Amino acid sequence: MFSSIWNFVKRHKRKFIFTGAVVGGVYFLGKYARSKIRELQEKEATEYIAQARRQFHFESNQRTCNMTVVSMLPPLREAIVNQLNSESLTAILKTRPANKVEIWEDLKIISFTRSLVAVYSTCMLVVLLRIQLNVIGGYLYLDNSVGKPPVTLQAPPEVQQQYLSSIQHLLGDGLTQLITIVKKSVQNSLDGVCLKQSLSLLELEQHVSWIRAEVESCPCRPLSSYMLATDDNALADQACGLTESDVLTIRLLNETRDMMDSPDFSVVLTACLQRGFSRLFDNLAQFFHPPPAPPADSAHNADPHSLSSVSLPLAKIIPIINGQINTICSETPGHFVQELLMNDDMKEFAANVYDSFSTPQEVHK
């Protein structure tokens, strides 16, 4: 029996070898496939956890941005009021001075200037802080990544402090420059409008449109120049010698300027300004009440509820526009700031900035 089995094996030796090779190959191939599938699953799980961690860090960073904006509004309002102090003029008017007409004229220019500057500077503050905190947030994500050696920190605490302190330009020299150009444009638009002249909300909006066109159309003075000091100023401040922290800070500032030169930045800032000035006129509209509805037999008359049919003397509009700064730059988040923070263009821009600076390849560019 054994000899017959042996003869059978000898006759079919090649078949047995081939079958063994196939079975063995299938076994090892299956084992290899299982190990690769396991590696792929582990990789996918790791990537999912990393993406979830990154998303959580991003969302946390946006909340920090929002809180920082709100905390900066009182200093911004104080800086504007200090340079455009209408309260002192109002106090003088209460004493019934002989030159009250001249004081009223000054109050007209200051009141409009400070409300328009409040809109501009608040929008700039929101956009600039959104850029800066997402740049830092992206680098912090990299700095805190697993396996990141501490010597390669992109945003150490001292650099963060230096970088974020650049916001003082917007609250200082940048604000002064912005006030100068807005005030000049307000004078050009409203100097010929007397205090007794009545204006509708639409006419008022037309004046503001003229002022905005003059402020925003100057090619030699882009709006970004009020937000961040120029390269020359930044380097001059470091003339005594650059430390490693100084070099990192200047790099962050230059990267910020690059983003402020991008089309995306222009789109976001324009969207914020449109929303900001729209909200300003929504606030003013509350004071332009339409007259009572006419009798039924006068139904053929013009629509009395149209905003163009409601007008107020400029002297009555001045106190209204003068008080808008308290709504615009309020430390209690109102509709004005909330609409800026929740703007869709702003959210997309913030995500793009964070994504650019939280990916390792950007660090080596």
pLDDT tens per residue, range 284-312 = 999 987 766 665 544 445 454 555 678 99
The range of the structural domain enclosing residue 291 comes to 72-363
For residue 276, what are its two tokens?
Answer: 């900001």
**Has residue 307 been placed in a domain?**
yes
Mean pLDDT of the chain: 83
Q: How confident is the model at residue 183 (pLDDT cuts 50, 70, 90)?
A: very high
Which whole number is the average pLDDT over 255-279? 94
**Has residue 34 been placed in a domain?**
no
Tokens 């703007």 belong to 343
| Element (DSSP H or E) covering residue 184 | helix 173-190
The structure's pTM equals 0.82
Sign of dihedral through CA atoms 329, 334, 336, 337? Answer: positive
Which amino acid is residue 49, in one-letter code?
I
Range with the largest mean pLDDT of 12-21, 24-33, 286-295: 286-295
Residue (of 284, 110, 115, 275) closest to 203 by Cα position: 284
**Has residue 286 been placed in a domain?**
yes
Work out the number of other CB atoms within 10 angstroms of the CB of residue 104: 16
**pLDDT score for 321:** 96
**pLDDT score for 236:** 47
Q: Which residues pair with 313 in a beta bridge?
A: 198
Q: What are the phi and psi torsion angles at 309 (to 5°)?
A: -90, -5
**Has residue 312 been placed in a domain?**
yes
Q: What are the DSSP calls for 245-294, one per residue? A: HHHHHHHHHHHHHHHHTSHHHHHHHHHHHHHHHHHHHHHHHTT-PPPPPP
- Local structure of 306: helix, strand or coil: coil
Asked if residue 353 lies in contact with residue 133, where contact means CB atoms within 8 angstroms, the answer is: no
**Has residue 346 been placed in a domain?**
yes
152-to-141, 144, 160, 224, 325 alpha-carbon distances in Å: 13, 11, 15, 31, 44
**pLDDT score for 157:** 87
Pairing of strands 198-200, 311-313: antiparallel
**Has residue 63 been placed in a domain?**
no
Give the total number of structural domains in the chain: 1
The answer on pLDDT for 30 being more than 80 is no
Half-sphere exposure of 295 (CA within 13 A, CB side): 1
The DSSP letter of residue 313 is E
CB within 8 A of 266, min separation 6: which ones? Answer: none
Work out the number of other CB atoms within 10 angstroms of the CB of residue 332: 8
Residue (of 43, 208, 33) closest to 119 by Cα position: 208
Q: How confident is the model at residue 276 (pLDDT cuts 50, 70, 90)?
A: very high
Distance CA 253, CA 266 (A): 18
**Has residue 57 been placed in a domain?**
no
Lowest mean pLDDT among 179-193, 222-236, 317-331, 347-361: 222-236
